[in-house]
Amino acid sequence: MTRIIHADDEQGLKQAAEGLRSGQLVAFPTETVYGLGADALNTAAVKRVFEAKGRPSDNPLIVHIAEFSQLSELVREIPPQARVLMEAFWPGPLTLVFKKSPRVPDAITAGLDTVAIRMPQNPMALRLIREARVSVAAPSANRSGRPSPTTASHVAEDLNGRIEYIIDGGPCTVGVESTVLDITVPVPMILRPGGVTREMLEAVIGPIAADTVLEVSKDQKPRSPGMKYRHYSPRAELVIVRGETGKVTEKINALVREKQEQGLKAGVLTCAENRERYNAPVVIPAGSIKEPSSLAAGLYQALRGFDETDVDIIYSEAFQEEGIGQAVMNRLKKAASGKIIDI
């Protein structure tokens, strides 16, 4: 049985924290997406996270902390650059990859000699971690492969009955996961674009390595193991159509008609501005292109929205790959397994 704890339920939050401390699994809101938390130093609890998600065991977890002092038991050293980044972006959507301390179980790091750590900004996340008095390993709280959850009901859809608690903190404000930055290498490298943009990082520490690893081929071993899996996917096939707006709309409408003639139902993923331009049975806007952060905040909700319909295929517009748009397009391309029509 999974218990839902509402934002104003002080007693419930305390019980969930106590549960976390004793090896139970607690899903909680962060500013990026909901996380599925377990005591990071409890191997049995960490293993249950992999089971509940159906996650491959070679994909390591991020450890969440609420106090800077928690770092010392988790990492071997704190490089000077890390201090600057932590000052600038913690609490917030930046995950740093450190050399791990021997105390961190292999189950978390999937056998790597590094550990990914972040301090989330969401006040309920911070309170839960403080109350539990443990570091909290937490992947996104979705079944493996599905779009990440940005509301408590998304978590319940995927994990109800598999975990002890879900803390409902309302919708996540950022909507895409944290940026994962490797600082164990001479030039820091973005392993996953996210809530803190490349420009924001470079303004603080200077040049960052080109993230060629983000477009991995099958025979290349990505530095961030999670990047090789099918991810964020709605049930229906997803195809991105990229090009000049007018042409994209025309092409998508033509593709929708074509599918209709074959007796198939097509959906369209778009932005608020272009919604009316489509003639399709299901049209879902992720947000507004005038406010790229709204596209990030609405992306996973939109992808999950198609699962509530019976569409056979989804066509999506491509969005600007600037700022937070880098993270949005990274997730969209993964959700589409790289299928893009350029016109």
Number of C-beta neighbours around residue 320 at 10 A: 13
Q: Measured from the CB atom, is 39 or 177 closer to ligand TXA?
A: 177
Closest contact distance (angstroms) between CB of 277 and ligand TXA is 33
Residues 287-316 that bind ligand TXA (CB under 6 A): none
Interaxial angle between packed helices 80-89 and 198-205, expressed in degrees from 0 to 180 and rounded to the nearest 10: 130
- Name 40's Cβ contacts closer than 8 Å, sequence gap at least 6: 46, 61, 63, 74, 104, 105, 108, 134, 135, 136, 137
Per-residue DSSP letter, 140:
B
- Dihedral sign (CA 193, 199, 204, 210): positive
In order, the DSSP letters of 73-108 are GTBS---HHHHHHHHHH-SSSEEEEEEBPTTS-HHH
Q: Which does 112 bind (CB under 5 to 8 A by kind): Mg ion, ligand TXA, none?
A: ligand TXA
Report the alpha-carbon distance of residue 178 to residue 28 in Å, rounded.
Answer: 15
Which residue from 140, 184, 294, 326 is in contact with Mg ion, where contact means CB under 5 A?
Answer: 140
Q: Which does 213 bind (CB under 5 to 8 A by kind): Mg ion, ligand TXA, none?
A: none
224 belongs to the binding site for Mg ion (CB under 5 A): no
Q: What are phi and psi of 273, to 5 degrees?
A: -60, -35
Decide if residue 95 touches Mg ion (CB under 5 A). Answer: no
Choose from ligand TXA, Mg ion, none: what does 154 bind? Cβ within 5-8 Å by kind: none
Task: Round to whole Å and give the CA distance between 138 and 129.
Answer: 11
Q: Which does 192 bind (CB under 5 to 8 A by kind): Mg ion, ligand TXA, none?
A: ligand TXA
Ranked by CB distance to Mg ion, the top (closest) residue is 140
* Stretch 98-137: interaction string toward Mg ion, x if CB under 5 A: ----------------------------------------
Question: Is residue 30 close enough to count as binding ligand TXA by CB under 6 A?
Answer: yes
Q: Which CB sits closer to Mg ion, 140 or 197?
A: 140
Question: How far apart are CB 170 and ligand TXA at their closest, in Å?
Answer: 15
Query: Minimal distance in Å, beta carbon 37 to ligand TXA?
Result: 8
**Which CB sits closer to ligand TXA, 68 or 279?**
68
**111: exposed, middle or buried (C-beta count within 10 Å: 0-12, 13-18, 19+)?**
exposed
C-alpha to C-alpha distance for 74 and 285, rounded to whole angstroms: 41
- Footprint on this chain of ligand TXA (rule: CB under 6 A): 30, 32-33, 35, 59-62, 93, 95, 97, 109, 112, 114-116, 120, 138-140, 177-178, 180, 191-192, 223-227
